[in-house]
Chain A
């Protein structure tokens, strides 16, 4: 394998910049970096002025129990997110199959569910599971009260992503498969979907990030996720800014990791295709 830089989507979308453009890019980058540095300085300065950098707001982070507490919350967050993601990917797949089906009833039902779940904000689904579902006598743990609504709210988007991917596969692929005697179903699973998956991966991972962010509503149903535990720390130590900063960094790191994963997978796929 060659060590040359793999081409990114940018290389296909834009011409390589000329010398003049490159100068402008450099000037722009320098300006932007300067601006960001100034902003960070201003924020830190302001924190210092308002006393947010005082030791009492930070010292509890040197304690092992604090990190264990954060770790427990993080674990719950990851569990909720993965469960919700698994459910939403499965439901999204089923909805996509329904949406692409030739049966009018299935088709309409799926299309309706997709629009519905896409149109309603996550928070409403959460309140539904928090306030309405218990009244019907159905007892759910806090875990499911957050995992289910988050999954439901994402599944319409996932279904549309799946459908977009399947439709992006050239028509001739289906026809070739059928002409070889494959049934529609076999053609779908053997030929169309494996190819569609390549187009879908980035959207799925973007959706995973959204699911992860949506789990931060877990405090509403008192599920002890990262966010909820952060709120406990905040009230225990009266340390709002420092705790939120640490938690934000954790979320950013996870999402950054997911984005890198997405790029790696996409890169591997495109390399495999032209290998």
Chain B
């Protein structure tokens, strides 16, 4: 048992040119924790998420995965990235490959798992997220909800230590949101360490161990879902929750 947080950010700063997008971000996610990040558009949630596997570089501060500092580049960076699953708003399945290939390609290429074994495991994972019967199709033939669930299976196939979700349901038709959230809830219950950017407040209430409220590049508030949703401390958080309820 390691006592390191699975994900740890210390004094992380990030600029896009003049724009200060991440301001002294300190955050750690322990094993099995589900941290939900909420906040208004442009507050830096996606950027935060993407710095964790270095899809965005940072200006200063440090980021550790399971105690190990993220390398700047090369094979070691790739290895560390492979330990963190990422689920994108726009699914980003590989359109030129079948759903099954999407799930096996990285385990075979990166982890060097034998093809046959990778296929068996992929089918099990696809079954688990409820798209086992779609394995031989190409992504374009699946509904949005099915694609996103396949994308989750693809990330799980790498046996990640943690999963990052950046608004996984924002591109979905309302009737498909539930099926994706169900898969995520199931994952959380099985003990997966997760960092989830989402506007789904019910999911946050039910599943989050901790809620983080971001605005303008800073973490303004952090707490359990009960305390955050019932007694938000800052006026900004109160206003944000109000604005969401009005919708």
A associates with B:
yes
Which A217-274 residues have a C-beta within 8 angstroms of B?
A: 272-274
Question: In the complex the two chains form, is A179's CB within 8 Å of B55's CB?
Answer: yes
Chain A interface residue count, CB cutoff 8 Å, equals 22
Interface class of chain B by DSSP: mixed
Size category of the B interface is 20 to 34
Chain A positions within 8 Å of B151 at CB level = 176
Q: Taking A172-B88, A186-B109, A275-B138 as contacts, is the C-beta distance between A178 and B94 under 8 angstroms?
A: no
Question: In the complex the two chains form, is B140's CB within 8 Å of A175's CB?
Answer: no
Question: In the complex the two chains form, is B55's CB within 8 Å of A195's CB?
Answer: no
- Counting residue pairs across A and B whose Cβ atoms lie within 8 Å, the total is 73
- Docked Cα-Cα span, A136 to B162, in Å, equals 63
Q: Taking A195-B96, A273-B138, A274-B140 as contacts, is the C-beta distance between A179 and B53 under 8 angstroms?
A: yes
Is A94 on the interface with B (CB-CB < 8 A)?
Answer: no
Q: Taking A273-B138, A274-B140, A275-B138 as contacts, is the C-beta distance between A180 and B92 under 8 angstroms?
A: no
Question: In the complex the two chains form, is B53's CB within 8 Å of A191's CB?
Answer: no
Partner of A178, one of B75, B78, B140: B78
Chain B positions within 8 Å of A182 at CB level = 78, 106, 109-110
Is A183 on the interface with B (CB-CB < 8 A)?
Answer: yes
Q: Taking A172-B90, A191-B94 as contacts, is the C-beta distance between A181 and B55 under 8 angstroms?
A: no
Is B105 on the interface with A (CB-CB < 8 A)?
Answer: yes
Question: In the complex the two chains form, is A175's CB within 8 Å of B92's CB?
Answer: yes
Chain B positions within 8 Å of A272 at CB level = 138
Question: In the complex the two chains form, is B92's CB within 8 Å of A190's CB?
Answer: no
Which A139-188 residues have a C-beta within 8 angstroms of B?
A: 170, 172-173, 175-183, 186
Question: In the complex the two chains form, is B106's CB within 8 Å of A180's CB?
Answer: yes
Question: In the complex the two chains form, is B106's CB within 8 Å of A173's CB?
Answer: no
Chain B positions within 8 Å of A190 at CB level = 105, 109
Is A34 on the interface with B (CB-CB < 8 A)?
Answer: no
> Nearest 5 A-B pairs (CB), nearest first?
A181-B82, A180-B106, A176-B92, A179-B86, A172-B92
Can you list 15 contacts pairing A with B, beta carbon distance less than 8 Å? A173-B92, A175-B86, A175-B92, A176-B151, A178-B53, A179-B86, A179-B155, A180-B81, A180-B82, A180-B106, A180-B154, A182-B109, A198-B96, A273-B95, A275-B141
